[in-house]
């Protein structure tokens, strides 16, 4: 009894001390956050329109080399663009970029990658470095025989243990080596629920066909990347797991209602948002029973603004899936898709097929009043906030 009372007192004192510390932390955090916000606003005010627009573009290296022309992904591997060249520097002088994403064909070995990233860091726009390093079949570094890093069969295989901590360990390992190589962002984890066995694009890239299980592993994976100092990205919103078609090549849709999506596809995304996800990648899938039209989610204000921002409360960075994928290019022109995406609420345009053309289109849209500059400022604010982290 005496011991019990003593323990109770210690717990009370501990709780009181924690509360006082929390109050002090809140006060400190409040003043710090206020100062950071003012600093961000000052930075944005000093930026030119072109600098702001450039911040919203994350591009393939090939997008800055205007001598390279391509229609299919397979054509890019032949170029093996693995260093910054004079054409890229000339283009980048007038077209700053917020980020660069490297693919397997841009990476040879450790020495080449280190030099390439050093050159990219010096580009106009001080770009962030991003990569798709999920683990499994989508791993640009781990699947390169010139790199001695751990390899994973798939996310589904990791989840077979039933222990979400295994996802944390894998993500921390992946995050640690890509951080060491110089990357800032990993476009992972796949947060889709693999409910359709005929799905040819997601499959074992997802953790599970059960939404609650997927949610637990997604959060653990996200935390693992964060612990390694890498920004993770929940993808592909609003869920690619129940879709048959591959958006790399053409139109795809889900016939689910929002109520149905909330019970399944949204579970991992909501868990990730609650866990502090800083980035979410869109899917180019149409959701006609939610939006009332055939617009890909990437271009839909209903999906991005009404659902993701307003209903789910996500206030981080929204990045498109690659805009040079067939689901976009076969339905919309390069400039039309870019403008629609920004109007829908996207912060980052990833991999436009013609970067220079898309960039110029956004600048003209702002100058003509088709897009308010304040709308651009909102996205730039979110991206700069991410850069500071």
Residues belonging to the active site: 248, 321
Q: How far is CA 236 from CA 33, 108, 239, in A?
A: 30, 28, 5
Q: Which residues contact 380 (CB under 8 A, 6 or more apart)?
A: 44, 47, 52, 55, 56
Task: Read off the DSSP letter of residue 304.
Answer: I
Going by their DSSP bridges, the two strands 99-102 and 57-59 should be labelled as: parallel
Assess contact for 339 and 33: CB atoms under 8 A.
no
Assess contact for 307 and 231: CB atoms under 8 A.
no
- Which single residue is written with the structure tokens 């570094």? 141
Three-state helix/strand/coil letters over 204-268: HHCCCCCHHHHHHHHHHHHHHHHHCCCECCEEEECCCCCCCCCCCCCCCECCCCHHHHHHCCHHH
Reference 322, options 90, 57, 115, 88; nearest CA is 57
Q: Which residues contact 285 (CB under 8 A, 6 or more apart)?
A: 236, 238, 240, 243, 247, 252, 253, 254, 296, 297, 327
Which residue blocks in the chain are alpha helix, DSSP H? 2-46, 49-55, 73-79, 86-94, 110-121, 155-159, 165-181, 211-227, 258-263, 266-274, 288-291, 301, 326-329, 334-344, 355-368, 373-388
């Amino acid at each position: 009894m005496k011991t019990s009372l003593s323990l109770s007192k210690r717990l009370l004192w501990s709780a009181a001390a924690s509360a006082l510390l929390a109050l002090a932390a809140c006060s400190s955090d409040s003043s710090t956050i206020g100062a950071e916000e003012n600093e961000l606003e000052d930075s944005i005010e000093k930026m030119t329109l072109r600098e702001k627009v450039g911040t919203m573009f994350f591009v393939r290296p090939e997008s800055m080399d205007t001598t390279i022309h391509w229609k299919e992904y397979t054509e890019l591997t032949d170029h093996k663009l693995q260093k910054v060249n004079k054409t890229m520097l000339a283009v980048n002088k007038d077209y700053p970029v917020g980020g660069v994403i490297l693919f397997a064909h841009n990476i040879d070995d450790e020495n080449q990658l280190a030099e390439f990233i050093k050159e990219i860091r010096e580009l106009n726009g001080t770009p962030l470095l991003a990569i798709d390093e999920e683990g499994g079949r989508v791993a640009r570094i781990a699947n390169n025989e010139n790199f001695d890093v751990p390899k994973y069969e798939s996310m589904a295989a990791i989840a077979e243990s039933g222990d979400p901590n295994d996802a944390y360990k894998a993500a921390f390992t992946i995050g640690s080596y890509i951080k060491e190589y110089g990357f800032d962002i990993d476009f992972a984890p796949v947060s889709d629920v693999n409910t359709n066995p005929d799905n040819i694009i997601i499959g074992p890239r997802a953790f599970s066909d059960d939404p609650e299980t997927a949610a637990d592993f997604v959060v653990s994976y996200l935390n693992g990347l964060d612990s390694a100092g890498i920004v993770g990205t929940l993808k592909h919103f609003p869920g690619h797991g129940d879709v048959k078609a591959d958006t790399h090549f053409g139109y795809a849709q889900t016939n689910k209602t929002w109520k149905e999506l909330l019970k399944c596809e949204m579970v991992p995304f909501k868990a990730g948002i609650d866990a502090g996800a800083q980035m979410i990648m869109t899917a180019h899938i149409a959701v006609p029973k939610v939006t009332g039209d055939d617009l890909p989610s990437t271009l839909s204000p209903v999906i991005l603004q009404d659902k993701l921002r307003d209903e789910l409360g996500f206030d981080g960075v929204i990045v498109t899936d690659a805009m040079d994928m067939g689901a976009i290019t076969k339905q919309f022109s390069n400039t039309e898709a870019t403008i629609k995406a920004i109007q829908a609420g996207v912060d980052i345009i990833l991999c436009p097929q013609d970067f220079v053309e898309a960039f110029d289109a956004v600048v003209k849209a702002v100058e003509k009043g088709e897009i308010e500059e304040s709308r651009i400022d909102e996205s730039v604010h979110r991206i700069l906030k991410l850069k500071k982290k």
